RNA sequence: UGGGGCGUCGCCAAGUGGUAAGGCACUGGAUUUUGAUUCCAGCAUUCGCAGGUUCGAAUCCUGCCGCCCCAGCCA
């Protein structure tokens, strides 16, 4: 049978790139970039862009650069540039070239002087408030600045003095001279440079002026030879500006502009890239804005950027998500220009799918109820052999100590079973995984009537190897031998917010009002002994409970700490 | 009263004039010593609405409606 090769869906960006290659545009090359500003940790939304940019490059035999967009030293921090590199690598991508926009400060400066000489940029003395007034509104045109028609010589002199640090912060800007009446507000003489006497993480105090995004970004793309500059929808309005700067500057045709890069060994063949916008991917029950994530961290609403409930990549990593699951997730979602909110369940489905195939099975009891098997001697001991994976023999087997006194999950017993309940009930039978069929004979209670333990008998004929082992019972439950159990801290994580759209403030409430109080429940559980030796970040399926990971930071052999990654799919509790 | 986008199943998303892909979710049923997994089947006479063009329209035209983004010396 001719299986269709699983070719990735042809979303519109892949189509554009394929068409460009077919037409020989950009010399048939594909060069992309992931350009984060180092002002926060990477999150799932960034992962979409990372997968897209690195993916498109890889699929087309091209390259993808990592570029830090560090043009605003007021907000940026080296802590973030380190974490971003760690996260991109962890996600599974390797950049071709690592750059900073600050590597191009000389180029930006030369380009700005060129615009001035072309009569396309001017130094404006208007204050920020005045600029705002002159800009007009969405529906009414702006007015030209009184400084708009200064001579080229005066502009050049003033700009050089800005660069020399002669003027106070905010006292002047360099602006592009485009059209104060443009319907697109980005074209109403946008700022190119502002004065900010701040120490920059890379360039120190060398520059008292810093370029604006619209100018720096397109030039950075051009000097790196980027062919397809992929960004999110809100930059659609900026594309005319992107194109305008590049057309005026003509970086491929003007070697003087990139001369500083030759001198520093950073030169690459310049190109005139094409900006293409796609929609961000929002996910239900979470927030993705850097501002809100920062607030959660700063106000200690979560336990740092890598809190396992955070949608940051470091948070997901600590939660136990695999890079593969995250990549599968975004591939499954696709790329379009439609604003959307993706069901959190899709993400969860991706980790389950990945972990089902790769996580060894173990047993752990998180809400213990004691079961004593009365037809076994109190000192009975044996070590049944259990498969580490039900479908993959390559995972091998392990020995799990078993005795007459067990912990089982409290939830696996119902004194008055609901119709359809398949587990243990007074007088009922259930299979103990790998051991045999046990019948509940007696329910022990305390003075208040709460169940404190169970007593039962194990059907000797149902033990492994006996003919009766094949006997069918409705349910199979997991267990841990009380005498051998290892106590552990287990964190049961759930969604951070209890409403699908925490960003929605139409009811007067904000995301802070919707924090889920049950997003992290810490319990003491009992593990089968092997688990005590787990390595940090090792993942397991605790049978019938879900997937768990040994905490990256706090787990230690002898002091096990596990995080619940995600529960198993459950078709029973929903209908019960 | 401006400019730029977007409206296809509960959630994503293909489709670009020839008679609605796929995934997730969901619902049946089979297998199962995880109520998991796996398997098999079902799941849009209809593409925001209304007209029009055409033998034929989700795709073209016209007009409405709805949602998102833009008035930082942020990115």
How many Cβ atoms are within 10 Å of A503's Cβ, its own excluded?
Answer: 16
Which of A309, A389, A401 is closest to A355 using CA atoms? Answer: A389
Q: Which residue has the tokens 């927030």?
A: A287
How many Cβ atoms are within 10 Å of A120's Cβ, its own excluded?
Answer: 17
For residue A388, the SS3 value is coil
What is the sign, positive or negative, of the torsion defined by CA atoms of A203, A207, A213, A218? negative
Q: How far apart are alpha carbons A217 and A197 in whole angstroms?
A: 21
* Cα dihedral A195/A199/A204/A205 (nearest 10): 50
Topology alike, domains A12-278 and A365-478: no
Q: Which nucleotide is nearest to A137 (CA to C1')?
A: B71
What is the sign, positive or negative, of the torsion defined by CA atoms of A544, A549, A554, A556? positive
Give, in Å, how far the C1' of B50 lies from the CA of A20.
Answer: 39
Q: For strand B, which nucleotides have at least one atom less than 7 Å from a protein CB?
A: 1-8, 10-16, 21-27, 32-38, 67-75
State which CATH number among 3.40.50.620, 3.30.420.10, 3.30.70.520, 3.30.450.40 fits the domain covering A12-278.
3.40.50.620
Q: Which nucleotide is nearest to A278 (CA to C1')?
A: B5
Instruction: Give yes or no for a contact between A231 and A74, defined as CB atoms under 8 angstroms apart.
Output: no
The catalytic residue among A37, A224, A528, A543 is: A37
Give, in Å, how far the C1' of B33 lies from the CA of A518.
Answer: 33
For residue A425, the SS3 value is coil
Give, in Å, how far the C1' of B64 lies from the CA of A338.
Answer: 22
Q: Which nucleotide is nearest to A386 (CA to C1')?
A: B33
How many Cβ atoms are within 10 Å of A525's Cβ, its own excluded?
Answer: 25
What is residue A314's predicted lDDT score, i.e. its pLDDT? 98
How many Cβ atoms are within 10 Å of A200's Cβ, its own excluded?
Answer: 20
Half-sphere exposure of A4 (CA within 13 A, CB side): 4
Q: Which two tokens stand for residue A359?
A: 């996580």
A window 335-364: Cβ near strand B (< 7 A): 335-343, 345-346, 349, 352-353, 356, 361
CB A460 under 7 Å to nucleic chain B: no
CB A19 under 7 Å to nucleic chain B: no
Instruction: Give yes or no for a contact between A124 and A147, defined as CB atoms under 8 angstroms apart.
Output: yes
Tell me the pLDDT tens digit for each residue of A109-121: 999 999 999 999 9
Q: How far apart are alpha carbons A438 and A428 in whole angstroms?
A: 8
User: Who contacts A214 (Cβ-Cβ below 8 Å, separation ≥6)?
Assistant: A186, A190, A238, A241, A242, A245
Q: Give the containing element (helix H, strand E) for A565.
A: strand A561-567
Give, in Å, how far the C1' of B71 lies from the CA of A23.
Answer: 40
Tell me the pLDDT tens digit for each residue of A390-408: 999 999 999 999 999 999 9
Q: Which two tokens stand for residue A120?
A: 């396309």
Q: How far apart are alpha carbons A338 and A316 in whole angstroms?
A: 25
Residue numbers in chain A where pLDDT is lower than 70: 1-9, 574-576
The CATH class for the domain spanning A290-360+488-566 reads mainly beta
What is residue A576's predicted lDDT score, i.e. its pLDDT? 57
Give, in Å, how far the C1' of B44 lies from the CA of A403.
Answer: 57
A window 478-537: Cβ near strand B (< 7 A): none
* Residue A290 annotated among the catalytic residues of the structure: yes
What is residue A575's predicted lDDT score, i.e. its pLDDT? 64
User: Who contacts A462 (Cβ-Cβ below 8 Å, separation ≥6)?
Assistant: A431, A436, A437, A468, A469, A471
Q: Which two tokens stand for residue A327?
A: 């990549």
Instruction: Tell me the fold of A365-478.
Output: Ribosomal Protein L25; Chain P (2.40.240)
A window 25-44: Cβ near strand B (< 7 A): 35, 37
Q: Which nucleotide is nearest to A186 (CA to C1')?
A: B70
Q: Which of left, alpha, beta for A136 (phi over 0: left; psi -120 to 50: alpha)?
A: left
* Residue A280 annotated among the catalytic residues of the structure: yes
Give, in Å, how far the C1' of B13 lies from the CA of A332.
Answer: 9
How many Cβ atoms are within 10 Å of A446's Cβ, its own excluded?
Answer: 9
Helix H, strand E, coil C: the string for A193-246 is EEECCCCECCCECCCCEEECHHHHHHHHHHHCCCCEEEEEHHHHHHHHHHHHHH
**ipTM of model over 0.95:** yes
CB A75 under 7 Å to nucleic chain B: yes
Domain locations in chain A?
A: 12-278, 290-360+488-566, 365-478
């Amino acid at each position: 049978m001719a299986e269709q090769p699983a070719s990735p869906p042809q979303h519109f960006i892949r189509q554009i790139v394929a068409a460009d290659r077919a037409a020989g545009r950009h010399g048939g090359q594909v060069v992309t970039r992931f350009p984060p500003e180092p002002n926060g940790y990477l999150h799932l939304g960034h992962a979409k862009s990372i997968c897209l940019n690195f993916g498109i490059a890889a699929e087309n035999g091209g390259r993808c650069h990592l570029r830090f967009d560090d043009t605003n030293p007021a907000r940026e921090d080296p802590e973030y540039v380190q974490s971003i590199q760690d996260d991109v690598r962890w996600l599974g991508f390797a950049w071709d070239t690592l750059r900073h926009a600050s590597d191009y400060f000389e180029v930006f400066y030369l380009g700005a002087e060129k615009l001035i000489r072309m009569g396309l940029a001017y130094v404006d003395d208007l204050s920020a408030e005045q600029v705002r007034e002159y800009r007009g509104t969405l529906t009414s045109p702006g007015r030209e600045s009184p400084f708009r028609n200064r001579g080229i010589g005066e502009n050049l002199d003033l700009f050089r003095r800005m660069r020399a640090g002669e003027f106070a912060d905010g006292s002047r800007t360099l602006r592009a001279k485009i059209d104060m009446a443009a319907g697109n507000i980005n074209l109403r003489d946008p700022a190119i440079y502002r004065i900010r006497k701040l120490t920059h993480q890379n360039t120190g105090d060398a520059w008292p002026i810093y370029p604006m995004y619209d100018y720096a970004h397109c030039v950075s793309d051009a000097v790196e030879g980027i062919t397809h500059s992929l960004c999110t929808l809100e930059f659609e309005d900026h594309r005319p500006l992107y194109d305008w700067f590049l057309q005026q500057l003509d970086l491929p045709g003007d070697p003087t502009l990139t001369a500083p890069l030759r001198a520093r060994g950073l030169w690459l063949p310049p190109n005139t890239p094409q900006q293409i916008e796609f929609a961000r991917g929002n996910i239900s029950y979470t927030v993705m804005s850097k501002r809100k994530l920062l607030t959660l961290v700063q106000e200690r609403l979560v336990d740092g950027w890598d809190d396992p409930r955070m949608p940051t990549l470091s948070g997901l990593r600590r939660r136990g998500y695999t890079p593969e699951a995250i990549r599968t997730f975004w591939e499954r979602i696709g790329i379009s220009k439609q604003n959307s909110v993706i069901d959190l369940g899709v993400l969860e489905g991706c980790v389950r799918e990945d972990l089902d195939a790769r996580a060894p099975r173990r047993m752990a009891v998180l809400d213990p109820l004691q079961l004593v098997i009365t037809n076994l001697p109190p000192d009975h001991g044996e070590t049944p052999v259990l498969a580490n994976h039900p479908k993959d023999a390559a995972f091998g087997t392990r020995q799990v100590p078993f005795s007459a006194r067990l912990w089982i999950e409290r939830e696996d017993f119902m004194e008055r079973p609901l119709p359809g309940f398949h587990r243990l009930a007074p007088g009922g039978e259930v299979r103990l995984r790998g051991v045999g069929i046990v019948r509940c004979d007696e329910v022990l209670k305390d003075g208040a009537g709460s169940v404190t333990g169970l007593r039962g008998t194990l059907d000797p004929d149902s033990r492994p190897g006996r003919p009766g082992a094949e006997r069918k019972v409705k349910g199979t439950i997991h267990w841990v031998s009380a005498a051998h159990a290892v106590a552990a801290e287990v964190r049961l994580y759930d969604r951070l917010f209890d409403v699908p759209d925490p960003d929605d403030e139409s009811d007067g409430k904000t995301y802070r009002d919707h924090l889920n109080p049950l997003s992290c429940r810490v319990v003491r559980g009992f593990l089968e002994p092997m688990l005590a030796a787990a390595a940090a970040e090792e993942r397991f399926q605790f049978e019938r409970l879900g997937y768990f990971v040994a905490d990256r930071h706090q787990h230690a052999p002898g002091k096990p700490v596990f995080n619940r990654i995600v529960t198993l799919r459950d078709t029973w509790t929903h209908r019960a």
